[in-house]
Chain A
Amino acid sequence: QSALTQPASVSGSPGQSITISCTGTSSDVGDYNYVSWYQQHPGKAPKLMIYDVSNRPSGVSNRFSGSKSGNTASLTISGLQAEDEADYYCSSYTSSGTLVLFGGGTKLTVL
């Protein structure tokens, strides 16, 4: 089963907002409200930023928000900060044999 589709890179200036898309199919993103977003800094483990499409774990800044429309989910980061520069991965639960799909990752550069 194919991975979810994310843009390879996005960039923005401090204080701006950016949005990262994550496109799947009607068997994963479109069928379940189980989309997650992870932040990964170089050499570090992934960190959960959003789960169940739009829920933030305790301790995650409210500058991070998630949404979904049809087969595409989105992560929006508002008020960009230098520390937000990282790789971001989306993930979705799927009822297919591979129960968990990840996107290919998006490198966020804060200019």
Chain B
Amino acid sequence: EVQLLESGGGLVQSGGSLRLSCAASGFTFSAYAMSWVRQAPGKGLEWVSGVSGSGGSIYYTDSVKGRFTVSRDNSRNTLYLQVSSLRPEDTAVYYCARAIRWLQSHDYWGQGTLVTVSS
């Protein structure tokens, strides 16, 4: 059974940092691209970042470039998102999701971890 379990969220002041983790199980982690998708309270979904199975290809949405860093440790079956220089508008539930092919769709999602940025 495919499982994705996020952790690392919390309350942080504006300008602060956190490292989000996503522990994967039930599939060959290194064979799949992965994404981070966020959802602000009461708002829609927003794709944040994607990384290829090897970690060699990485993309970000414009609003987080230079502030967020995605990485993965295939030996630990874990995806990471380092979020820095946080702003109140980064407040959201952050989901990790397994991608179909190269980000064309996402077939499994974790339960999410909440990041709250106070001003």
What's the minimum C-beta distance from A44 to chain B, rounded to whole angstroms? 8
The secondary-structure label for the interface of chain B is strand
Encode A59-96 as 1/0 by CB contact (under 8 A) with B.
00000000000000000000000000000010101000
Chain B interface extent, by class = 20 to 34
Report A1-53 residues with CB < 8 Å from chain B CB.
Answer: 1, 3, 32, 34, 36, 38, 40, 45-48, 51-52
A98-B49 Cα distance, complex, nearest whole Å: 9
With known contacts A45-B95, A46-B95, A100-B35, A38–B107 Cβ distance under 8 A: no
Number of A interface residues at 8 Å Cβ cutoff, please give it: 26
B100 at the binding interface (Cβ < 8 Å): yes
Give the residue name and chain of the A residue nearest to B107 (CB). A48
**CB-based contact A102/B105 at 8 Å:** no
21 contacts between A and B (CB under 8 A): A3-B44, A36-B104, A36-B106, A45-B110, A46-B37, A46-B97, A46-B106, A52-B104, A57-B107, A91-B45, A91-B106, A93-B103, A98-B61, A99-B47, A99-B50, A99-B59, A100-B37, A101-B47, A102-B47, A103-B44, A105-B44
